[in-house]
Amino acid sequence: MIGGGRIVGGGLMIGSAGLMMVFAVWLLSEETVTSAGARSLGLLLALLVLGPIFGIGFYLLRKGSAEKEQFAHVEQEKKILNMVLAQGQVTMADLIMELELPRDDIEDMIRDLVGKQLFSGAINWEKGILYSVESQALVDGQTCPNCGSQVEFAGKGLIACPYCGSQVFLTKRAAAETGAVSGAVSAAL
């Protein structure tokens, strides 16, 4: 279960705090006839036993919360990919409305997807349009999906249009298949 550590951590924290309170009330009650030193030692021992359990619970609570936030981020990135694949082309305005996030955050997610080699398509940053494009078709045709002009290899896994500024990102497989072509283009330059 995603973020399940929050439940376990919260339970450990509540349980250890509850046990500590019960033990403190028992030690400080009138029925327990002990000296002040014995009471202090009892509370110290209870803290030594229950303190680490509370700490582990706190750690699990924080770790579960972080895991839940990461999962939400991954879900938003998956939503971006699905929108591009399903619609063929998506504007940045559509993504902003759908995800309810600022443009900078969405651009960071897109760059993250490119870095993870999950997004293979074209992006026109100026117009704010993402295109779903088969990488192999771009390599074979070597034309820009936005304006139709000749594209240039701009780096490993990246094809750029010098006319409209669109950038086409390729997956590892497609970039490897274009390696010989990009090597020839680099040698020619």
Q: What is the pLDDT of residues 45-60, one digit of tens each?
A: 989 999 999 999 999 9
Phi, psi of 85 (to 5 degrees): -70, -40
Quote the percentage of the chain above a pLDDT of 90: 27
Lowest mean pLDDT among 21-25, 64-68, 97-101, 121-125: 121-125
Give the domain ranges of the chain: 4-74, 88-188
Query: Do 16 and 71 meet the contact criterion of CB atoms below 8 Å apart?
Result: no
pLDDT the model gives residue 154: 64
| pLDDT tens digits, one per residue of 100-147 | 999 999 999 998 998 888 887 788 888 888 877 654 454 456 778 788
pTM: 0.56
